[in-house]
Chain A
Amino acid sequence: MVEEAPVAAAAPILSVKDLEISYGGQKALSGVNLEILENEIFGIIGPANAGKTSFLKAINRMDIFTPGMQVRGDITFAGHNVKHLKNVYALRSAIGVVFPLPVGLPMTIYDNVALAPRLRGVKSKVDLDIIVEHCLARAALWDEVKDRLNSLGSLLSGGQQQRLTIARALSQEPILLMLDEFSIAVDPVTTMRIEDVLKELKQEMTIILVTNLVQQANRLADRTAFFLEGSCVEINDTQSLFCGGATDQRTTDYIEGRFG
Chain B
Amino acid sequence: MNHPVTTDFDRRDRDWYMDKLVQLVVFVSGISAIVFVIGIFIFITKEGMGFILDTMDPVEFFTSPYWEPSDEDAPEYGILALIAGTASVTGLALLVSIPFSLGAAVFIGEFSTGKTREFLKILIELLAAIPSVVWGFIGLTIMNPLIIDIFDVPVGLSVLNAGIILGLMTAPIMTSIAEDALKAVPDRYREAAEAMGATRWQVIFKVVFPAAKNGLLGAVLLGVGRGFGETMAVLLATGHSVNIPHSIFDPVRALTATIAAELGETAVGSDHYQALFTIGIFLFAITFIINLTADLVVRGVRNG
Mark A179-198 against chain B: 1 for CB-CB distance below 8 A, else 0.
00000000000000000000
Nearest to A91 among chain B residues (CB) is B9
State in angstroms the CA–CA spacing of A89 and B9 once bound together.
Answer: 8
- Tell which of A101-109, A168-176, A212-220 binds the partner: A168-176
> CB of B11 within 8 A of chain A?
yes
> CB of B2 within 8 A of chain A?
yes
User: Which one, B1, B2, B3, B6, contacts A90 given CB within 8 A?
Assistant: B6
Interface residues of A in 73-94 (CB under 8 A from B): 78-80, 82, 85-91, 93-94
Interface residues of B in 136-188 (CB under 8 A from A): none
| Contacting pair B5 A94 (CB below 8 A) | yes
State in angstroms the CA–CA spacing of A119 and B19 once bound together.
Answer: 13
State in angstroms the CA–CA spacing of A122 and B8 once bound together.
Answer: 19
State in angstroms the CA–CA spacing of A80 and B7 once bound together.
Answer: 9
| Contacting pair A80 B5 (CB below 8 A) | no
Distance (whole angstroms) from the CB of A25 to the closest CB of chain B? 15
Write out the residue numbers on chain A whose beta carbons fall within 8 Å of the beta carbon of B4.
173
> CB of A121 within 8 A of chain B?
yes
Main secondary structure of the interface of B (DSSP, over half): loop
Mark A144-162 against chain B: 1 for CB-CB distance below 8 A, else 0.
0000000000000000000
> CB of A117 within 8 A of chain B?
yes
Q: How large is the interface on A (under 10, 10 to 19, 20 to 34, 35 or more residues)?
A: 20 to 34
Known: A117-B3, A120-B3, A127-B2. A90 touches B8 (CB 8 A): yes
State in angstroms the CA–CA spacing of A88 and B13 once bound together.
Answer: 11
Write out the residue numbers on chain B whose beta carbons fall within 8 Å of the beta carbon of A117.
3
Write out the residue numbers on chain B whose beta carbons fall within 8 Å of the beta carbon of A89.
15-16, 19
User: Which one, B1, B10, B15, contacts A122 given CB within 8 A?
Assistant: B1
Write out the residue numbers on chain A whose beta carbons fall within 8 Å of the beta carbon of B1.
122, 127, 131, 173
State in angstroms the CA–CA spacing of A173 and B3 once bound together.
Answer: 10
Interface size for B (C-beta < 8 A) is 16
| Contacting pair B5 A86 (CB below 8 A) | no
| Contacting pair B9 A122 (CB below 8 A) | no
Known: A79-B7, A94-B7, A175-B7. A86 touches B12 (CB 8 A): yes
Known: A80-B9, A80-B10. A87 touches B3 (CB 8 A): no
Nearest to B10 among chain A residues (CB) is A86
Write out the residue numbers on chain A whose beta carbons fall within 8 Å of the beta carbon of B15.
89, 119
| Contacting pair B9 A85 (CB below 8 A) | yes
State in angstroms the CA–CA spacing of A86 and B35 once bound together.
Answer: 33
Distance (whole angstroms) from the CB of A157 to the closest CB of chain B? 14
Distance (whole angstroms) from the CB of A73 to the closest CB of chain B? 18
Write out the residue numbers on chain A whose beta carbons fall within 8 Å of the beta carbon of B2.
122, 127
Known: A87-B16, A89-B16. A120 touches B5 (CB 8 A): yes
Write out the residue numbers on chain B whose beta carbons fall within 8 Å of the beta carbon of A78.
7, 9
State in angstroms the CA–CA spacing of A78 and B9 once bound together.
Answer: 9
| Contacting pair B11 A93 (CB below 8 A) | no
| Contacting pair A86 B3 (CB below 8 A) | no
| Contacting pair B5 A175 (CB below 8 A) | yes
Nearest to B4 among chain A residues (CB) is A173
User: Which one, B5, B10, B11, B16, contacts A173 given CB within 8 A?
Assistant: B5
Nearest to A88 among chain B residues (CB) is B9
Distance (whole angstroms) from the CB of B140 to the closest CB of chain A? 48
Could you list 10 further interchain pairs (A-B, Cβ under 8 angstroms) beyond the known A86-B12, A90-B8? A79-B7, A80-B9, A85-B10, A86-B10, A87-B10, A89-B19, A93-B5, A119-B15, A127-B1, A174-B5
**B interface list, Cβ under 8 A from A:** 1-13, 15-16, 19
A-B contact pairs, 6 of them (CB 8 A): A78-B7, A87-B13, A90-B8, A90-B16, A91-B9, A120-B3
Q: Which 6 A-B pairs have the closest CB atoms?
A: A85-B9, A86-B10, A78-B7, A91-B9, A90-B9, A80-B9
